[in-house]
Amino acid sequence: MVFSVFMCFLMSLLLGGVLSISGSSEISFNNNYSVTWGNDHVLSSNNGSQVQLSLDISSGSGFGSKMRYGSGFFHMRIKLPDRNSAGVVTAFYMTSQGHRHDELDCEFLGNKEGKPYTLQTNVYTQGQGDREQRLHLWFDPTTDFHDYRILWNQHQIVFYVDNIPIRVFKNNTNNGVGYLSQPMQLQASLWNADSWATDGGQTKTNWSYAPFKAYFQGFDISGCSRS
Ligand SMILES: *[C@@H]1O[C@H](CO)[C@@H](O)[C@H](O)[C@H]1NC(C)=O
Ligand SMILES: *[C@@H]1O[C@H](CO)[C@@H](O)[C@H](O)[C@H]1NC(C)=O
Ligand SMILES: *[C@@H]1O[C@H](CO)[C@@H](O)[C@H](O)[C@H]1NC(C)=O
Ligand SMILES: *[C@@H]1O[C@H](CO)[C@@H](O)[C@H](O)[C@H]1NC(C)=O
């Protein structure tokens, strides 16, 4: 909390936005998130402590934070679609709005049964991406929930898988590299991306495995809200 107060203080000095401090204790799916698309493909259970997104040939689905943030630590526990999930992408990401937007992506690229999931991360600053990095998850992400986190402060962005930092993007504005500065919302979605996601788009979604289902828990945000 002290860290978060400090960050909000710094961000308010730097950016002059409207800020308030939000601890993670009061976060709940029902209060802090809303469905963004595919309403009838979103199922929340246990009083909002778990959310299931599904994808079939008619629609995918997604949800996002109601508030926008200027920095913070964002956490989701996710269990990915099992069996043959080729062509299917589960995404956990942050994005600002508008044309030259900022975005931080964790995209889980489905695969044929028995083949590893790929986690693709990307960083957009002012609409400029092309910073994809890929790794194979070292566990089966379909049998259990695992922790995925994004840390974003004025110094760096860090992506974590089960508390292991897998990528760092430093604030290198001193060297002329753009950095994320626009208020972003946290989002999650499940969608068909078989034009590119698996084997470069050669392996298509097999709809006989639909509906595909991804499960989410946690929803923690220790962030500075910013409008
Ligand atoms: C969660 O929602 C509550 C109630 O609207 C709000 O007071 C709180 O600031 C929100 N927290 C975050 C981190 O957005
Ligand atoms: C359901 O969650 C809300 C907050 O999200 C909480 O205030 C309420 O007490 C919970 N109800 C039950 C039955 O646990
Ligand atoms: C990035 O770092 C520079 C100092 O190196 C700082 O002035 C700037 O505000 C930082 N950017 C953000 C968005 O925090
Ligand atoms: C889709 O999966 C079904 C069930 O495993 C299989 O019979 C069928 O051949 C698959 N379709 C394609 C195009 O691979």
| Domains of the chain by residue range | 2-225
Active site residue 103: yes
- For the residues 106-110, what does the mean pLDDT come to? 98
Looking at the CA of 47, name the nearest ligand.
2
Evaluate: CB of 31 within 6 angstroms of ligand 2. Answer: yes
Q: Is the pLDDT of residue 137 over 60?
A: yes
Is 2.60.120.200 the CATH number for 2-225? yes
Q: Which residues are 177's β-sheet partners?
A: none
Query: Which residue is closest in CA terms to ligand 1's atom 13?
Result: 22
- For the residues 151-168, what does the mean pLDDT come to? 98
Query: Which residue is closest in CA terms to ligand 2's atom 2?
Result: 47
Question: What was the pLDDT predicted at 22?
Answer: 52
Which residues of 16-171 form beta strands (DSSP E)?
19-22, 33-37, 42-45, 50-55, 61-65, 69-79, 88-95, 103-109, 118-124, 133-136, 146-152, 156-161, 164-170
Ligand 1 contacts (CB < 6 A) are 22, 26-27, 31-32, 67, 221, 223, 225
| pLDDT interval class at 214 (50, 70, 90) | very high
Query: Which residue is closest in CA terms to ligand 1's atom 1?
Result: 32
For residues 45-74, b (16+ Cβ closer than 10 Å) or e, as one string? eeeeebbbbbbbeebbbbbbbebbbbbbbb
Q: Which residues are 18's β-sheet partners?
A: none
Question: What was the pLDDT predicted at 8?
Answer: 56
Evaluate: CB of 30 within 6 angstroms of ligand 2. Answer: yes
- Mean pLDDT is lowest, of 22-31, 47-56, 130-139, for 22-31
Q: What is the mean pLDDT of the chain?
A: 91
